[in-house]
Amino acid sequence: MFNKLKAACRADWDAYVQHDFVRQLAAGDLPKACFQHYLKQDYLFLIHFARAYALAIYKAETLEDMQHAKAGLGAILDDELELHVSYCADWGIAREDLESLEEATATMAYTRYVLERGMAGSLVDLHVALSPCVIGYAEVARWIQAQNFTVLEGNPYRSWIEMYSSDEYVAVADAAAAYLTKAGAGLSDADLARHTKTFREATRLEIGFWQMGLDRAM
């Protein structure tokens, strides 16, 4: 199903995965201030993503789905946020800066879109809206690894690239794709058309998130 969704918005998908922010990150010449801006907003992004997983628990029909979503929630609240805080510290961003941060419009745009889509639609709608992020980041890292202009040696963003290339992260992305495949079986055409629209809109909002980093925009 994920491949079907991607194929239906190929140009947007490529514009997301191969965005200038990603290219500069791969080449190691992304301005530090852009990456810092991105990192800061990503902290707020994570908090809203935790809320999205909480919503997935609320919406779940089975204990299995509840546990699946709770794993995602726990990963963020128990680990990723603290990892993010310490990663930000490496980049000279203090915890207090993160805690008093103003939210950029691109951050509001994508996160609220996901939450609202998940509330108005079904559990599958929510997971579709999440997928350009969850599955997409693994694809971004894989794409980076495959480009001949990519430089890992001495690249200040190497740890970022390697985190999303790691077996752990790839396993998370694969699990999300497997969920969609299962959920996508037997969908009506109307459901599929709706999911395609959601996936495309979420992808466009991801593009906006990279652009926000590049422009250091609020």
User: Count of residues binding its own copies (CB under 8 A)?
Assistant: 46
- Which CB atom, from 119 or from 171, has the smaller least distance to its own copies? 119
* Dihedral sign for Cα atoms in the order 42, 131, 105, 34: positive
Among 19-27, 100-108, 138-146, 156-164, which window interacts with its own copies (CB under 8 A)?
100-108
70 belongs to the binding site for its own copies (CB under 8 A)? yes
Among 122, 150, 165, 196, binds its own copies (CB under 8 A): 122
Distance CA 22, CA 71 (A): 28
When the beta carbons of 44 and 163 are compared against its own copies, the nearer one is: 44
Q: For this structure, is 99 an active site residue? A: no
Catalytic residue among 34, 88, 133, 139: 133
The reply to whether 133 belongs to the active site is yes
CB 104, CB 217: distance < 8 Å: yes
> What count of Cα atoms within 13 Å lies in the side-chain half-sphere of residue 124?
19
The residue whose two tokens read 């466009």 is: 204
Binding mask 9-48 for its own copies (x = CB under 8 A): --------------------------------------x-
Among 116, 147, 159, 178, binds its own copies (CB under 8 A): 116
Residue window 176-205: x/- pattern of binding to its own copies, with contact defined by CB under 8 A: ---------xxxxxx---x------x--xx
Residue 111: C-alpha distances to residues 142, 154, 197, 204 (Å): 24, 33, 17, 12
- One DSSP character per residue, 142-158 reads HHHHH-TT---TT-TTH
- Per-position b or e across 36-71, b if 16+ CB within 10 A of its CB: bbbbbbbbbbbbbbbbbbbbbbebbeeeebeebbbe
Task: Phi first, then psi: give them for residue 179, nearest 5 degrees.
Answer: -60, -45
Q: Which residues are catalytic?
A: 133, 206
Which residues contribute to the site for its own copies (CB under 8 A)? 47, 50-51, 54-55, 57-61, 63, 66-67, 69-70, 73-74, 77, 81, 103, 105-106, 108-109, 112-113, 115-117, 119-122, 125, 185-190, 194, 201, 204-205, 208, 218
